[in-house]
Amino acid sequence: MLASYISANGHPASAKADKIQSITGVLMGCFLLAHLHFESSILLGKEAFYTVVQFLEGGMFSSTGHGFPIVTKVFSVFMLLVVMAHAAVALRRFPAQLGQWRALRRHMSVINHKDSHAWFWQLATGFVLFFLVPVHLFTMIANPEIGPHLSAERVYHQNAWLLYALLLPAVVIHAMVGLYRVAVKWGLTTKRTALRKLAKGLIIYLIVIGILSLISYLIIGSDLSMPVEAYRPS
């Protein structure tokens, strides 16, 4: 069953879909790397995060220096479209039946192939992200206002930390494994062992800075009184 499943999905007609999946995957992976580092600026203090937000939202084009939240809204819509395109072509690779999942598990237990294990983790995390990522993006589209206080309000007072606690490890693992598999698939490197070590190191690093950032928002949020006012540097 597994062999027939792989064979069916390995048809030459899927080459175009493979390219779309790889391009959208690389785009999302690079975005995640940038996004988590921008978010982690909160670790340097409220003013550092505020400065980063205003820069990303085009504050340099405003007479007041304050950015335009519409930029966050538009970019969130764009990323939602990218996610939808990626999911649409990736779903053809998804085991659709319980028997296919069992065959995959048996295959992994018999053949200890690291790339097969990487593929399994990408499938598992992809299933989780199918539900979590749209929730996050819809939230940003509906309420694009971000900043040290407003983001902390969302995390602490609106209990968004529950979503982010599930989303963080799933999206990091999925993205880094995905970038590894794209590099191998398209022959960008032959040093798989070194690339796997790099991917593992990035997974640990990104999850750590993501958790520290989340904790910072929780601490800031716990000190805020309702209604929350947007942060303004002194």
Domains of the chain by residue range: 2-222
Instruction: State yes or no: 37 annotated in a binding site.
Output: no
User: Do 171 and 133 touch, CB atoms closer than 8 A?
Assistant: yes
pLDDT digits (tens, 9 = 90+) for 141-166: 999 989 999 999 999 999 999 999 99
pTM of structure: 0.85
From residue 121, alpha-carbon distances to 95, 166, 170, 178, 228 in Å are: 13, 15, 9, 10, 39
Residue 49: predicted pLDDT: 96
Half-sphere exposure of 84 (CA within 13 A, CB side): 10
Instruction: State yes or no: 136 annotated in a binding site.
Output: yes
Instruction: State yes or no: 11 annotated in a binding site.
Output: no
Written as six digits, the tokens of 77 are 């819509």
Cα–Cα dist 79/85, whole Å: 10
Instruction: State yes or no: 117 annotated in a binding site.
Output: no
pLDDT digits (tens, 9 = 90+) for 188-203: 777 888 999 999 999 9
Cα–Cα dist 211/183, whole Å: 27
User: Do 1 and 99 touch, CB atoms closer than 8 A?
Assistant: yes
- Which CATH code fits 2-222? 1.20.1300.10
